[in-house]
Amino acid sequence: MSKKDLKDKLEEETLLEEKEGEALEDEVIEDLEIEEPLFVQAEITYEEAQFVEIEKAREIFLKQYKSQNVIKWIVSIAALALIIVGWLIFLDKSIYLTIGSIALSLLLILGYNFIIKRYLNGKMKTYFDIFYNNTTSYIFDENKYEDVKAAVENKIEPVQFIENNIYKDVVQVGSRNLTTYEYKKMTIQVCDAAGQVKAQKGLKPVFVGKYFMAPNLYKGDEPIIIYLKGNEKSLPPTNIEHLNVISDDKVMAVYSNNEAASKFLTKPIMTALKKIKTDDVLIDVAIAIQKEKTFVCAGYDDTLMVLPLEHPFDPKPTKNYKEDLEKFSEFIYALNTKPKKE
């Protein structure tokens, strides 16, 4: 299975790196012994039990992936040998034997690809489930969030991303791990998502990160777009040329054709918004405030969005996201809260 096959699942459920290596027996899975709650590997210390489980799952899947790579070479060599035998030995005796040996080699390759794809998909799903179950458990502190419901296979419909109108001409949307939770009794949804547009060669991303959806109290017909600027990896909004610039500085830009947009962005809303800071993990943030709907596109680096395979799990981006989640939730809550009368 190629690197492309594995990584297609941000569009088709996977975001993994390819690594070839030596074969290891699956029996080692049951023999892994890891000291808890502390586990140290490659100078990374896992102080949270959830992170220990993630790293164990990564190690197991890596060994399974390595094993299938060795089997792949064995099957390929066997198929090549059948073709050579059919061509060099059987051809002089019978054309049918030659055709038969070539057909058998093709069946061998097709059969292997079918079996190994099912095998790896099953093992990968197990890894994904462990990864997301444990990150969800760690990120969604039960003292701050209630009624958390999540599953890796849960997705949004493409229209649920396209309707934010932050990015122009989105033709493909991939998503996973749609999570519904309550923050201060307000329901919010978030998922991993990616939006792509057509390019000269295939597709290119306009967004990869965490995508939030929630209600708000905004009643205007004209949307408000807010963009928190980031580093060179940023993917700014592409559907704003028809909007007036309300404000624009080194940190933030606000766009809208609603002359009263600034009045809706009250002090509590702006105070909550300014607590969200972009960095090397949170690349940038694009927000669409539409009539009674809020969409937040939090663009995150691959260190958070791509599940590790070759390298040990790094908990730092997940810790960063846990802090960000509360800030995003507080901002979204402020958009749906009536301002207090002075």
For residue range 267-278, what is the model confidence (pLDDT) as tens digits? 999 999 999 999
CA distance 54 to 130: 6
More confident residue, 342 or 251: 251
Angle between helices 49-85 and 95-139 (to 10 degrees): 170
Q: Does residue 79 have a pLDDT over 50?
A: yes
- In this prediction, residue 40 carries a pLDDT of 44
Question: Residue 17's Cα: distance from chain center in Å?
Answer: 13
Task: Look at the chain and report how many structural domains it folds into.
Answer: 2
Q: Same domain, yes or no, for 155 and 296?
A: yes
Q: Tell me whether residue 341 is in a domain.
A: no
Q: Same domain, yes or no, for 160 and 242?
A: yes
Q: Same domain, yes or no, for 268 and 195?
A: yes
Residue 123, domain extent: 3-20+28-139
Q: Does residue 92 have a pLDDT over 70?
A: no
Confidence (pTM): 0.78
CA distance 287 to 208: 14
Burial of 156 (0-12, 13-18, 19+ CB in 10 A): middle
Picking from 78, 111, 139, the residue at the C-terminal end of a domain is 139
Q: Tell me whether residue 114 is in a domain.
A: yes
Lowest mean pLDDT among 24-33, 51-60, 224-233, 293-302: 24-33
**CA 249, 252, 254: angle at the middle one, nearest 5?**
100
Q: Same domain, yes or no, for 235 and 199?
A: yes
CA nearest neighbour of 234 among 212, 253, 247: 253
Q: Does residue 212 contact residue 177 with C-beta atoms inside 8 Å?
A: no
Picking from 88, 109, 139, the residue at the C-terminal end of a domain is 139
Express the helix, strand and coil content of the chain in percent, nearest 5 each. Answer: 40, 25, 35
Q: Which amino acid is at 192?
A: D
Residue 234 tokens read as 């940023």
